[in-house]
Amino acid sequence: MKNVLVDLQHISKSYDGQMVLDDLNLYIRENEFLTLLGPSGCGKTTTLRILGGFETPDSGRVMFEGQDITKLPPNKRQLNTVFQKYALFTHMNIAENIAFGLKIKGKSKEYIKDKIKYALKLVNLDGFENRMPNSLSGGQQQRIAIARAIVNEPKLLLLDEPLGALDLKLRQDMQYELIRLKNELGITFIYVTHDQEEALTMSDTIVVMNQGYIQQIGSPERIYNEPENAFVADFIGESNIIPAVMIEDRLVEFLGTKFACVDEGFGRNKPVDVVIRPEDVELTQDPSEGTITGVVSHVIFKGVHYEMEVQAHGFEWLVHSTGMFPVGTMVGINVDPFNIQIMNKPESEDEEAVGVNE
């Protein structure tokens, strides 16, 4: 296991009596790309600001390489932050922007010149030294902001929704750039976003947050394929979430029909939720070949696949398929037992918010 670089211990923070983080515990390993993912107001940016030294927690400690840095100001921490708004100095050219932090540290002119060249090459903007920020596109400005951060050789780079202001194509290009930079530099990245696709594309580890609590921590594959509660399932990609009863191990009943599954240990006749991803729903042309039957009520072409809504047993199924069934078609519906994910039902709204905070 890689060494732990950062350890957030029992972090709580509230603003005007409103709890934003409640006893949050999280560790980050060296050279990890960890993404804090969740809706607005879930506490992800507050977590990042506490890490960066811009906020002080009401309680708890921020440990960095075994040292308590909770009270340390941002400029004394071995980290840099890249914000969504770039925060470039408009009256300085690109070279001066990148050199700013190094000058404050009293580095030599020769050292600074070498670092500027190195950083611009790294972000694919060679020869931009004398350009002014307002002459650059949004994507170029963002890369300069990243270059300015990495010349300081931080052990940890914090990125607060850095691609939020870019258009889709540019955002996708920058995602690959960030992965490349992380691999080349060997720096630990902590990334904040509410964009699920961004998190799934770039991360080694995703931390899903809601209402100040951690809901689930895991690899992109695990978070997507094995969500631990309905919030995670719904937030990470689209899902069919259906109330169900676990009859016994490996047998679940929903929509009046028994389905084989692979989950065990939920007890007998226990109310649960079932999660089935749209791409895991199999439609058959012959309705009699399906476990249940339904009628296609809506079709949209999405490029790679068709998105269909199928009304079946009082539930509106969302289906992604490369094959298209016209509206009004009667179809059969099958789901492989491995693609039926069983989740415990939360017993209260509070429990729903708390998730797994571990």
Residue spans of the domains in the chain: they are 4-225, 239-354
Whole-number average pLDDT of the chain: 92
How is domain 239-354 classified at the architecture level of CATH? Beta Barrel (2.40)
Question: pLDDT by residue (tens digit) across 73-91?
Answer: 998 999 998 887 767 898 9
- In this model, does residue 349 exceed pLDDT 50? no
pLDDT confidence bin for 177, thresholds 50/70/90: confident
Residue 343 has pLDDT above 60, yes or no: yes
Instruction: Tell me if 65 sits within 8 A of 74, measured CB to CB.
Output: no
- For the cut 70, the answer to whether the pLDDT of residue 348 exceeds it is no
Q: What is the mean pLDDT of residues 223-247?
A: 93
Mean pLDDT of 69-76: 94
Residue 300 has pLDDT above 60, yes or no: yes
Summarize the confidence of residues 32-44 as an average pLDDT. Answer: 95
Q: What is the pLDDT of residues 125-148, one digit of tens each?
A: 999 999 999 999 888 888 898 899
pLDDT for the residue numbered 249 = 97
Least confident segment among 13-27, 73-87, 112-126, 273-287: 73-87
Asked, colleague to colleague, whether 4-225 and 239-354 share their fold, the answer is no
Q: What percent of the chain has pLDDT over 90?
A: 75
What is the structure's pLDDT at 85?
Answer: 72
> Quick one: pLDDT at residue 86?
67
CATH number for the domain whose boundaries are 4-225: 3.40.50.300
* pLDDT band of 45, cuts 50, 70, 90: very high
In this prediction, residue 347 carries a pLDDT of 62
Instruction: State the pLDDT at residue 73.
Output: 94
Q: Inform me whether the pLDDT recorded for 227 exceeds 90.
A: yes
Which pLDDT does position 358 carry in this prediction?
Answer: 39
- pTM exceeds cut of 0.85: yes
155-176: pLDDT as tens digits: 999 999 888 777 888 888 888 8
